[in-house]
Structure 1
């Protein structure tokens, strides 16, 4: 509920899902199902090359690191970021790059902060833990703050 008003800001009902351990736990579980050492994370990708065979060569941003050879590559970043920061050889088709560049990156220009409290004090008043504040409107550069409870119950 909004503070005191009873209005639901972000209803969470059927279909809403909260993963124990967050989405990182999903990636960890998938990686554990594969042979050790085949999943590489936490590396900025600079270039992805295909030479016509089944192999893919991935060059990471750290030039000192050897390129990675793989059969499959999963790039888990928004399409707009891929188009702006990763080179492909052979190049991606122009229409695909245009589509990727036009794809909005939800919350990509937000500043994200995590705050931890010793107790979910908002639950005492049957509030949801979701709050919204804005100044100057959200159009044309106004400020807006949103909080979201991420506690596991």
Structure 2
């Protein structure tokens, strides 16, 4: 592990930290999980490019009003809606008629979206040259712009380093992508050697600038895990027809991938009580 404690001190090597529980990555990336889940679905029921704008509750069902990729209005009717978006994003971008209970809307609005204020830099290389120097690719820095760095290489695939930017979202918004990438490359050189100067490609993903992830409130957020809010209305017209299933609603792991699995499983199980958790967690092909 390489540690950079200040601008005045050169980076130093030290033993890394043991993670408990162990942190794991999926071979082939998260896209493999999405592909495996997609294979189990009826493709005719999967609609992409649709943006839900409002939910209306009448005496018979929930009216889901959306627009497709061309801007054409599309309306759906449902007995129950599972919300797989962050609570804050739902409260900010979807109109409810009648309005959600004020206490519930406030809870959702005040629940920070875990990754929303963050940004990640990734650099792709021809080989994991840092390993030849006996380095794991892990790093911590008080100088930045990245606060932590990890080896993101794939077995038999591309070599890569990635890091989370420690620069606040509002400050990042005043700096161009190219300038930020230049500083990130310079940091990789300081910590892992001159071979880091010329990646095959490098990119920055800034979730704070993603309207499908962040709201204006998230740009000043601290990035801490929030306590899970209520996932459904306890009374009123929305009771029994609306459930939040995004990871922020996970009782045990809000904000994490495990939380997304838990929250979705609980939501589906509540609608289909005859289906066991074991069946929901059946191994993917």
Q: Above 0.5 in TM-score?
A: yes
Deviates more, 1:120-129 or 1:61-70: 61-70
Deviates more, 1:67-76 or 1:39-48: 67-76
Cα separation, partners in 2 of 1:121 and 1:32, compared to 1, 3 Å: same
Which is strand-richer, 1 or 2? Answer: 2
Q: CA deviation at 1:62?
A: 5.7
Q: Distance in 2 between matches of 1:70 and 1:120?
A: 52
Q: Distance in 2 between matches of 1:21 and 1:40?
A: 25
Which is helix-richer, 1 or 2? Answer: 2
Cα separation, partners in 2 of 1:32 and 1:5, compared to 1, 3 Å: same
User: What's the RMSD between the two structures over aligned residues?
Assistant: 3.1
Q: Distance in 2 between matches of 1:17 and 1:89?
A: 42
Summarize the alignment of residues 1-150 of structure 1 with structure 2, pairs less than 5 Å apart. Answer: 1-3=1-3, 4-8=13-17, 11-12=18-19, 14-54=21-61, 56-60=63-67, 64-69=71-76, 71=78, 73-135=81-143, 144-150=146-152
Task: Say whether the 8 Å CA contact 2:68–2:74 is kept in structure 1.
Answer: no
In structure 1, runs of 5+ residues without a counterpart are 137-142
Partner of 1:140: none
In structure 2, runs of 5+ residues without a counterpart are 4-12, 156-285
Give the aligned length: 145
Which contiguous aligned blocks of 4+ residues in structure 1 show a shift greater than 6 angstroms?
none
